[in-house]
Amino acid sequence: MTNNLSGHILVIDDEPTLRHTLARILQRAEFQVTTAASGVEGQALLKQQNFDLVYLDIRLPDMSGMEVLRHIHTIQPELPVVLFTGQPDLNSALEALRQGAIDYLLKPLQPEEILQRTTAILNRQARERRKRQIREQIAALESELQRLERDEEPSEKPAPHLENTEERFLTRGKFTLDLHARRIRFDECEISMPPASFDYLLVLMRHAPNVVKYQTLVSEAQGYHVDVREAQELVKWHVHQIRQVLEPDERAPRHLINVRGIGYRFVAD
């Protein structure tokens, strides 16, 4: 398999067979791969090299994957991390997402699934980098244009620059998403949440008040396709995370409503 993406991926896992197999799968797809057999080794590599994505086992011999995840996001907050485990645990999954993991996979890892997730994540990273570059270029051009206009008409005060709020902000009722800062504003308060959960909320708000199916949520928020059962589990984790932030009472949600067997819808008021 070949692809047009490039990316340097770090795999941290203490099982030699899984570590080498995962590396071979990714290398055959023409990704650059570095491996580490422990949390300490992985942390050392993160200080020495730049990576675009980390695959991290939640159970390591020297420290927990959660500790490594927290360390990663202390030094590189935007670096996407995917955790995996052979012992499914909903509490661990939710904690991983709370700590900023972008995804949570169960062993045994399937080659096609790994390649699909890797491609989706790196594609998103590439799009975000390109959007930042374009914004910086636009800002530089606008600054130059204002300077030229001031030079041509020194007696006139240049008009203030107005930001394109339609592209930057999404508002539903009292909720406003700042798509540049990736923060939520509600009743004059600013709220933050893990990046992946923010993307799920963005999809729900864009479709509001319509119901969004489980698979549509995963596809639009994370960029890949899964079956209905897996989509339902993934969405459930992120909805739990969003409800912790937005709902006064998670047991009686007012804003994220489950339509049983179909999906969720966002209600602003």
Report the CATH number that the domain containing residue 78 is assigned in CATH: 3.40.50.2300
**132 belongs to a structural domain:** no
CB proximity list for 217: less than 8 A, separation 6 or greater? 200, 203, 204, 231, 235, 263, 264
Number of domains in the chain: 2
Q: How confident is the model at residue 39 (pLDDT cuts 50, 70, 90)?
A: very high
**131 belongs to a structural domain:** no
Higher pLDDT, 1 or 149: 149
Higher pLDDT, 31 or 94: 31
Instruction: Tell me the pLDDT of the chain averaged across its residues.
Output: 83
pLDDT of the residue at 161: 39
pLDDT in tens, 169-206: 888 888 898 888 888 988 778 887 888 888 999 999 99
**43 belongs to a structural domain:** yes
- Asked if 30 and 96 sit in the same domain, the reply is yes
3-class SS of residue 159: coil
DSSP classification of residue 53: E
- Asked if 29 and 118 sit in the same domain, the reply is yes
What's the whole-number mean pLDDT along residues 13-27? 92
What's the whole-number mean pLDDT along residues 138-156? 69
- Asked if 109 and 171 sit in the same domain, the reply is no
**140 belongs to a structural domain:** no
Reported as half-sphere exposure (CB side, CA atoms, 13 A), residue 247 has a value of 18
- pTM recorded for the entire structure: 0.57
What's the whole-number mean pLDDT along residues 229-254? 86
For residue 154, pLDDT beyond 50: no
- Asked if 255 and 168 sit in the same domain, the reply is yes
